[in-house]
Structure 1
Amino acid sequence: MAQQFVKAKLKGDRVVLFIKPSCPYCTMAENVLSKYKFKPGHLESVDISGRSDMDSLQDYFQELTGSRTVPRVFIGEECVGGGSDVSALHNSGELEGMLQSIGALQ
């Protein structure tokens, strides 16, 4: 069930963040991504904190990405890591190119 939920959210031309609103690294990732002009519908934050399958989702993140922590940030269908990773990609200038390569930016 968790695997199906995650896979249904991931698309080749979208950025998806799996978050918990109380997490400072989730806020960091959202703040970095808010600096970019996304096409409508190409950026989604998915709050997993109130879900009954939250632990299963995090177990699946562990299996899929090597970490069960949030945020788990996917550009297209590839996980680029968490908040610090997104911030580092932004600071290095790589993030914009990644977002352009999937066609997510206006």
Structure 2
Amino acid sequence: MITRSFITLAHRTSSIPRLPPATRSPLRFFPLASLFATTSSGPTAQQKLNMTVQDTVNNAITTKDGKKKIAIFSKTYCPYCLKAKSRINTYVSNLAVNEKDQVEVVILELDELEDQGAIQNYLQEKTNQRTVPNIFIAEKHIGGSSDLEGYKDADIKKLLFGTAAS
């Protein structure tokens, strides 16, 4: 929607027949598209991309349906990502059956997504880390592969379930 504004100009020409003073108006109105018009057509393409990126990241991280999430933002060719995914898969496979049912591992391979740069930019805003792997456990940002190495299985279990391993 374009807001229109009007500019008033005093317009007198000799080619226009003159009317008597009582009926003659020295002012004419010319509609102009305002240079300062705002639109209400919704978000721009960049804003939509940003919203989509935020939704993608937040859906990967946020716990739903009572399941505890482990989210890894990764790239298929990255050796540090492979190491982190292997560590998480080993951890989850060693959980008790009832605990496995409560855990959901989400791995987003950024190099397979069209908006990988935008996702990494958003992750940098959110976590101050743009590199991969970018790991979240139970909605808590852990960091990268070397940060994950500092966590023992008991620490991961405490993050996920609130209790230490028995």
- TM-score using structure 2 length: 0.55
Matching residue of 1:88: 150
Q: Which amino acid in 2 is paired with 1:86?
A: L
Matching residue of 1:57: 119
Larger Rg: 2
* Partner SS for 1:44: strand
Matching residue of 1:78: 140
The unaligned stretches of length 5 or more in structure 2 are 1-51
Percent identity of the aligned residues?
A: 28
RMSD: 2.0
Aligned residues of 2:137 and 2:156 also touching (Cα < 8 A): no
Deviation at 1:24, TM superposition (A): 1.1
Instruction: Give the whole-Å Cα distance in 2 for the aligned partners of 1:34 and 1:9.
Output: 17
Choose between structure 1 and 2: higher strand proportion. 2
Instruction: Give the whole-Å Cα distance in 2 for the aligned partners of 1:99 and 1:33.
Output: 12
Aligned residues of 1:28 and 1:84 also touching (Cα < 8 A): no
Deviation at 1:27, TM superposition (A): 0.9
Choose between structure 1 and 2: higher helix proportion. 1
Aligned residues of 1:18 and 1:70 also touching (Cα < 8 A): yes
Matched residues, number: 101
Instruction: Give the whole-Å Cα distance in 2 for the aligned partners of 1:23 and 1:90.
Output: 23
- TM-score using structure 1 length: 0.83
Deviation at 1:19, TM superposition (A): 0.6
Question: Relative contact order (alpha carbons < 8 A, sep ≥ 6): 1 or 2 greater?
Answer: 1
Instruction: Give the whole-Å Cα distance in 1 for the aligned partners of 2:107 and 2:82.
Output: 10
Runs of 4+ in 1 over 6 A off after TM superposition: none
The unaligned stretches of length 5 or more in structure 1 are none
Deviation at 1:41, TM superposition (A): 5.7
Q: How is 1:1-106 mapped onto 2 (pairs within 5 angstroms)?
A: 1-12=52-63, 13-36=68-91, 37=95, 38-39=100-101, 42-90=104-152, 93-101=154-162
